[in-house]
Amino acid sequence: MAERRKKPIDGKRGSVMNLIRKIKHSIVLLLTFSLFFAYVPAALGASAQQVEEVRGLLEQYHLKSPDDSALADKEIDEMVDSLDDPYTQYFDDQEWKAYSSELEQTFVGIGIVMMEEKGKIYVEDVIADSPASSVGILAGDLLVAADGKSFAGKTMADIQKELRGEEGTVVALTVSRSGKELKFKITRKQVHVPVVSTKMLDQGIGYLALTSFTSEAGKEVKRELEKLEKNGLASLVLDLRNNGGGYVSAAQEVAGLFVKEGVLAHMRDRNGHDEPLSISGTSRPYEVVVLVNGNTASASELLSGALRDYGVGQLVGTKTYGKGVVQSLIPLKSGGVLKVTIQEYYTPKGKKVDQVGLTPDLTVSGAAEQLIGAFRLAGGTKLAVSWNKGILTLNGVRMSQPDAARKEGNLWYVNLKLGTEIAGAKLTYDAKSRTYTLTKGSQKETIKATDSRVKIKDGRTSIDVRLLAKWFKGVTFSASGETLKLGSR
C-alpha cells in the first residue's frame, strides 16, 4: 500500500480559480460524455506516485471536500468510488487518448451512422468525405457482413466493433440494396463526425442541431447560423436533444450568439464561492425554440437554461438529464489525467439543475412529435412528412422512426400519436370505454380501440391515414410503393 500523503498538494488548500491558474494545461469542462461512453479506469496499475497525486487533488479540489481520513489507504479506483460521484474519473494515457477523441467526435472507422429496424441494422446516414461515402455506401443499405462474418443476430455495438479498427486497415463490407448483395472494400481512416447540421424547414423557420460542445462547436454554430440568416431566417429551432455536453467555453460562445451581455451560469465551488460565467456577444431579432430531452445534459442544460432565463427561447420536449456539475481535467505529473468535479452550476436566475433537470415550457414526447411541436411554436404551419423503410423525413430533417408507419396490403397506417400531432390535434384515451379522442379547437373525433381502422401491435397504436385526412381539413396523404407521404397546412 502506498504511503499516505500528510498534506494537500502545494501544502495548502486552494480555490478552484487557483487550480485553473496553476495548471496551464487544465481545461475547465462540462464532461458528460460518460453518459453515453463507458470507460473503465485502469487505476489498478497506477504507481504509488500517481495514487498520492490523485489523493491530494481530490482532497484539495473535489466539490464534496473529502478529508484525508476518508481517502486514506485506498487505491485510485477505491478513492473515486468512495466519492459517490459518477463524473470524477482517472484515465491512464491510453484511456485518455480514446476519451479525448470522443470529446472531439473523432474515431477511426468507415463513417456510417446505423439504425435498427425489426432486428436488422441499416445505414441511417453516411458521413460526408468518409471512407464509406467514397466507395458508394448509401443510407438505407442493410448491413449484412464484414470480412465474411454475418451480422445476423448482432447488435449495433457488435457491428460497430467490427467496423472500427486501426487506421489504414481494410474491412470487406457486404450490404443489401434493393434485394441485391453488394460488396465493398473500405480502408479505415480517422473520421470527424459533424456536430452541427442545419435545414430551412419552411416559412423562414431554420433548424440547427448541435450534437456536442466540441472545442470548435461555437465557431461551427456561428458559421451555420449566418448561412441560415442569409437564406431568410425568421425564427430558429435549436435542437439540443441527445447532446451530452462538452466544453464550457463552447457553450459560452454559442450563448454569445443570442445574448448580448449577461451571465451564462453561476458556478459555485465547495466553499460556496459564486463565480459568474459571463456572456459577451450579440442579440438576434428572431425567436428561438430549443428542443430538449432526457439526454440533454450538462453544457446543453447550461445553454438551455440561460436562453430561457433571458427570454431568448422556450424549451420543447421532455425534462432534461439533470447534470449540473462541472469537471476540470488535470494532467498528472506522474502520468494520466484526473477528471474531477469542482463546481455546481445554477441558471442565471439561480435555478438548480443538478439531479433536477429543466422542465420544458411545452412537454412533448416522441422525436418527430417534438420537432413538429417546436416548428409550430416557431410559427410554422406547413408540414411535409415522408416515411420509407424506417426513415422519417420531416420538412427535410431525417430521423430513424421504424414504428411511425406500417403498410397492410394496400392500406397505410400511421402512428396515432404522430398522426394526431401532424393534424395539430390533442389525443386522449379513456381506458374504461377504450376510446381515443382527437380534439382540435371545437372539433372532436372519437374512435374505439376495437375499430378495424385502428391497429395495435407491440403496444403501439396506428390509425388508417384515410381517416385522418377525412377528419381534419388540411391533412393530405399519398403513397407510392413503400413510401408514405403526409402533409398538413
Q: Which of 300, 309, 339, 464 is catalytic?
A: 309
**Catalytic-residue membership of 426:** no
**Catalytic-residue membership of 202:** no
Tell me the C-alpha distance between 381 and 234, whole Å.
14
Sign of CA dihedral 451, 452, 454, 458: positive
**Catalytic-residue membership of 298:** yes
122 in Cβ contact with 389 (< 8 Å): yes
124 in Cβ contact with 393 (< 8 Å): no
Pairing assessment for the beta strands 483-488 and 149-150 based on DSSP bridges:
unpaired
Tell me the C-alpha distance between 383 and 229, whole Å.
21
Tell me the C-alpha distance between 213 and 208, whole Å.
14
In the DSSP assignment, the letter for residue 70 is: H
Query: Which regions of 269-421 does DSSP assign to beta strands (E)?
Result: 274-280, 287-292, 313-317, 325-331, 337-346, 362-363, 383-388, 391-394, 397-400, 405-408, 411-415
Tell me the C-alpha distance between 321 and 360, whole Å.
12
CA angle, 173 as apex, 167 and 177 as ends, to 5°?
140
173 in Cβ contact with 157 (< 8 Å): no
Q: Which of 34, 92, 235, 323 is catalytic?
A: 323
Residue with cell 452541427: 196
477 in Cβ contact with 412 (< 8 Å): yes
Q: Which of 26, 130, 298, 488 is catalytic?
A: 298
Q: Which residues are catalytic?
A: 298, 309, 323
